[in-house]
Structure 1
Amino acid sequence: MKIALFSDIHANLPAFEAMLKDMDSRHPDAIYCLGDLIGYNIWPNEVIAEIRKRGIATLMGNHDLKVKDLKTSIAETSGKNYAYHLVDTAHLDYLATLPSHIRLEYPDLNILMVHGSPAKVDEYVLEDMDQTLVLNLMLQAGADVLIGGHSHKPYHRIIADGDHYRHVINTGSVGKPKDGNPKGCYVLLTLNAGSSRMDKDSIEVEFIRFEYDIEKAANAILNSPLPHELADMLVQAY
């Protein structure tokens, strides 16, 4: 079974369209989005509409969560908050219904998808996080495989836990990478009939980097009320 996983589109439509084209060519059996559809660029409605059209199971990211209190907590329409006010009312209602996690349970493997961590939508689970802390998070959450986004930095970490192996995967970011590589990123997770927490090689994780029209995405920021520094962050991937 081939599962496509992506996160942190951040209203970057050129990147999202390029990812979908690449992903569709690989014919995954299942697709999941780990949140942050909006923020930082001008196409939140187009991104949300395509997610909904395709019926992609999607989590609530920390930016998606912000629009729940749009009228009170995000009062200004300038600066970064401009991006939130672009979201249509119907899409605001959709974002407000998104879940905090998705769990897949197999006979010998439990997979938990989150945006940040199992505990909080805006908590980071970084590659160099203390191993004991990571194991405790996964044990409390009942996860053999923990998949998240939020940091915009892709990695796959395998932790030995007695005779079990636990996998931590970050999908990186479709529309706003922060790992020094401006190419968008998503993950293909491949499971087979023998995939198990007992065999660390029975789970295949592939990071797909793809090119997109980054100039179009950067210019959209420069020609909007959004802070111009966001364009540089996009091009330089920080």
Structure 2
Amino acid sequence: MDKNIVDIGKLSDKVLLFGGVYSNLQALEALIAVAESEGIPPENCICTGDIIGYCAQPEETIQTFKNWNARIIVGNVEIQLRDDEDDCGCDFREGSRCDGFSQQWYPYAKSKLSKDSLDYLDTIPDHIQFTIGNQKVTVVHGSYFNVSEFIFKSTPWTTKHSNFEATESDIIIAGHCGLPFENKNNNKRWINPGVIGMPANDGKPNVWFAILDNSVKPLQVNLRKLDYNHTLTNKLMLNGLLPESYAKTIVTGIWDNMEILPEPEKQQQGKPIEL
């Protein structure tokens, strides 16, 4: 099937980048407040996908995002919900803890979404492209080739390089893996702004996003922490229908398990993220 790629043209000044809202309404509201305080318009705010996920307010989160009018590409969760599939498409190993937990939160999310929200998912493209300064940027979820591919900072550059070749890009903005990082090689930059719906396994309840800043030269990427009302998010998740382990992660900042992580990322659990 042909990809739906939307070119939004040339962007200037600041671009706010984030991923994985994961039905976390409180984090989304806090991020919108940051965008407003920084003077970043909605059309310069881009999500790498997975509006829906582990937390308790999927319908409210989609509607808030839709009304904000920011930009987004599909994550695996949007694709699965849009296509009325029975699982999240996260590419978790069958029988793993993540796979088991997804059999709780995905049906919960699916049961809460209105027709209007499902119709909105049909409007979301596979990828967004834009230019900033003299740099061509492509936004992907996992990778350009596989929406569910986990790519981390430690992932070999050869894997990343094929994405730059296929898209003829200078910068790739990606999501899915849940951890913020920037990786540079031969004037190419792979940027994962992190996710705002869950902590980054660093032992802190705050979450992560990034601002691409073209108001200074050279182009800067600022990975930033986001504080929000995580206590309320945790409370709402303790409804007997969602994994309590994920509710605990919201508060502790420690992942329940590290099944998806390569060894270098596993070694960083509970440690401050080095940028």
Superposition TM-score tier, normalisation by shorter sequence: 0.7 to 0.9
- Correspondence list, 1:90-105, <5 A: 90-105=116-131
Q: Would you say the 8 A contact 1:64–1:95 is kept in 2?
A: yes
Distance in 2 (alpha carbons) for counterparts of 1:16 and 1:224:
23
Paired residue for 1:189, among 206, 212, 218? 212
Paired residue for 1:148, among 174, 180, 184? 174
Q: Would you say the 8 A contact 1:38–1:84 is kept in 2?
A: no
Distance in 2 (alpha carbons) for counterparts of 1:107 and 1:186:
21
TM-score, length-scaled by structure 2: 0.76
Structure 1 residue runs of 4 or more that deviate by more than 6 Å after TM superposition? none
Which residue is 1:8 aligned to? 20
Which residue is 1:48 aligned to? 62
Q: Call closer, same or farther: CA 1:154–1:225 in 2, change over 3 Å.
A: same
- Correspondence list, 1:125-164, <5 A: 125-160=151-186
TM-score, length-scaled by structure 1: 0.87
Q: Would you say the 8 A contact 1:185–1:210 is kept in 2?
A: yes
**Which amino acid in structure 1 is aligned with residue 196 of structure 2?**
V
Q: Would you say the 8 A contact 1:42–1:86 is kept in 2?
A: no
Q: Deviations over 1:158-184 (max 9, x none)?
A: 111xxxx00110010111123323212
Distance in 2 (alpha carbons) for counterparts of 1:41 and 1:106:
33
Paired residue for 1:169, among 169, 172, 191? 191
Q: Deviations over 1:142-162 (max 9, x none)?
A: 1110001111100111111xx
Q: Would you say the 8 A contact 1:39–1:84 is kept in 2?
A: no
- Correspondence list, 1:1-238, <5 A: 1-29=13-41, 30-70=44-84, 73=86, 79-80=104-105, 81-105=107-131, 108-160=134-186, 165-180=187-202, 181-192=204-215, 202-237=218-253, 238=255
Aligned residues: 224
Q: Call closer, same or farther: CA 1:140–1:79 in 2, change over 3 Å.
A: same
Q: Which runs of 5+ in 2 are unaligned?
A: 1-12, 88-102, 256-275
SS of 1:156's partner is: strand
